Amino acid sequence: MSPSRSRSQYELDENEYGPSRTQQRRDALAVLTLATQLVEMIPSRLAKLELPDDVRDEIANVRKITSHIARKRQLGFLAKLMRRHDESTFDAVRAALGENRDKQRQETAAMHRMESLRERLLGDEGDVALSELAERHPTLDRQHLRSLVRQARIEKNTPNKPPRAYREIFQVLKALEEVDVDEDSAG
């Protein structure tokens, strides 16, 4: 804003001429990012979203293209097609993508917790971790889990032996985590 122009004059110009070129570019790049996310989304999740038919067809076209430059050009066309639609058309899609990111973060955090608990069970403080786990989950089969821990330790020290028990411990912990989630949602 130049010193000779008043604030109200600047606001009038912005209202009169619309968004700045920089803002238009930001908006276009946001739509291109959304288009990229839609193309990379797995088909089963994409089918659940409410998208216009022409956008859905163009997403299918972009997925068929393997050449990097051609794919990039087609993504640009998809973004242009999406900009022709009203902004509110894609509000539900943006909301779904935001919720999915939060859900993915929660699932990743839960997986990391289970992995660290598995490492604690296999480590020096395995008995302490097992008793803490048994306190939180009274229905836990201690005997089975203890034998899995023993087998996993043997597998770890034996070369060329597949880590079957190591994986099974993770599955037991995952089942316990799902029980916790079900109890939290019910309660």
Q: For the segment 103-145, what is each residue's pLDDT rounded down to a tens digit?
A: 778 888 888 988 998 899 888 888 888 888 888 888 888 899 8
pTM of the full structure: 0.50
Structural domain including 108 reads: 103-186
Rounded distance between C-alpha atoms, residue 44 and residue 128, angstroms: 43
Q: Are residues 63 and 111 in the same domain?
A: no
Q: Does residue 111 share a domain with residue 47?
A: no
On whether residue 181 sits in a domain, the answer given is: yes
Contacts of 80 (CB under 8 A, 6+ apart): none
Q: Clarify whether residues 77 and 114 are in a common domain.
A: no
Residues 118 and 179 placed together within one structural domain of the fold: yes
Across 154-161, average pLDDT: 86
Residue 24 placed within a domain: yes
CB atoms inside a 10 Å sphere around CB 172:
19
Domain membership of residue 98 (yes or no) is no
Same domain, 46 and 114: no
Same domain, 111 and 80: no
Residue 148: burial class (beta carbons within 10 Å; 0-12, 13-18, 19+): buried
